[in-house]
Amino acid sequence: AARLAGKVALVTGGSRGIGEAVALRLAEEGADVALTYRDSAGRAEAVAAEIEGMGRRAWAVRADSADPRAIREAVDAVATRFGRLDILVNNAGVGVVGPIEETDEADIDRVLDVNVRGPLLASKAAVPHLGEGGRIVTIGSCMAERVAFPGGSVYATSKAALSGLTKALARELGSRGITANLVHPGPTDTDMNPADGPSAELQAGFTALGSFGTPADVAGTIAHLVGPEGRYITGAAIAVDGGFAV
Ligand code: NDP
């Protein structure tokens, strides 16, 4: 059944990786889907074309999540173009790993701008468009819950901040029938973190299952949260991490 028929979803960073899988999954469930990207225009257009091939409306919008105006304009443009907005998935994110004393201030700003201010501003822009049944899902990281190896100061800070955002949104929007949740992926095979990368074995070793997850694993949980069965879940942090944070 098309559980998301008639709904409009916006996925930030939907051109590749987890965001691509989420965009496709929500379209499979019946939603019309807009996705943002920064650099990968060709990939973003290909994802949009695949969604249109499923018979849904789709739109790939260039919007840098580090740019407040770009975020605001993209959210408003999506709501205008599709006539409504029901689901926001804050997925766009960047990773920086390294010893804190060697981390550039510019990199710190970039990670906080994209990973923290981006979801905050996208949520701020989306809320006026969301009605009863509205959904906000933000992608955190298992590193928000357990920092299992050195070098994560900036990234873990950024992802832990999303816990405060999610709880505050849940409390503020609950009376309007809007939920807000956080999903913490574990090591997930994407361009950002390939399952055959240099630290992949180390990361997999910190999970209970001993292996990487796939973008589709994360997308499945998000589909549940944004669908009708997610109705009573809000303010929650849900790990899809193979037991990394255990
Ligand atoms: P990828 O690097 O594979 O893909 C990132 C996506 O985000 C791309 O679509 C990219 O667009 C987009 N993006 C990046 N920066 C910006 C920006 N400034 N503005 C707009 N879009 C942007 O990452 P993943 O799919 O692996 O990660 C997705 C989310 O999941 C991130 O928040 C990440 O932190 C989180 N995560 C990932 C884990 C993993 O192991 N992979 C583990 C835990 C959390 P473009 O193609 O245009 O660059």
| Closest atom, ligand 1, to C-alpha of 185 | 43
Instruction: Provide the 3-class DSSP secondary structure of residue 35.
Output: strand
d(CA 11, CA 37): 9
User: What pLDDT is attached to residue 74?
Assistant: 98
In terms of Cβ atoms closer than 10 Å to its own Cβ (0-12, 13-18, 19+), residue 220 is: middle
Predicted-complex ipTM score = 0.99
Q: Write the residue with the smallest CA distance to atom 32 of ligand 1.
A: 93
Looking at residue 207, its amino acid is T
Domain over 8-240 is classified CATH 3.40.50.720 = yes
**Domain segments of the chain as ranges:** 8-240
Q: Is the pLDDT of residue 201 over 70?
A: yes
Cα–Cα distance measured from residue 217 to residue 11, given in angstroms and rounded to the nearest whole number: 16
Q: How far is the CA of 91 from the centre of ligand 1 (A)?
A: 7
Distance CA 57, CA 49 (A): 9
User: Of all atoms in ligand 1, which is nearest to the CA of residue 213?
Assistant: 40
Burial class (CB in 10 A: 0-12, 13-18, 19+), 162: buried
- What integer pLDDT is reported at residue 1 of this predicted model? 65
Q: Is 37 a catalytic residue?
A: no
For ligand 1, mutation pick of 184, 192, 244 (most atoms within 8 Å of CB): 192
Give the active site residue among 37, 155, 212, 244.
Answer: 155
**Which residue CA neighbors atom 6 of ligand 1 most closely?**
13
Region 116-135 average pLDDT: 98
Bridge partners, residue 169, by sequence: none
What percent of the chain has a predicted confidence (pLDDT) above 90?
100
pLDDT of residue 78: 98
The predicted pLDDT at position 26 comes to 98
Separation between Cα atoms, residue 63 and residue 67, nearest integer Å: 8
Q: Which atom of ligand 1 is nearest to the CA of 159?
A: 34
Return the structure tokens found at 180: 């807000």
Q: Tell me the pTM.
A: 0.99
Q: What is the pLDDT of residues 134-177, one digit of tens each?
A: 999 999 999 999 999 999 999 999 999 999 999 999 999 999 99
Asked if the model's pLDDT at residue 93 lies above 90, the reply is yes
pLDDT above 80 (res 125)? yes
- The minimum-distance atom of ligand 1 relative to the CA of 66 is 18
| Closest CA to ligand 1's atom 10 | 13
pLDDT at 4: 98
Residues having CB closer than 6 A to ligand 1 are: 12-19, 36-40, 43, 64-66, 91-95, 114, 139, 141, 185, 187-188, 190-193
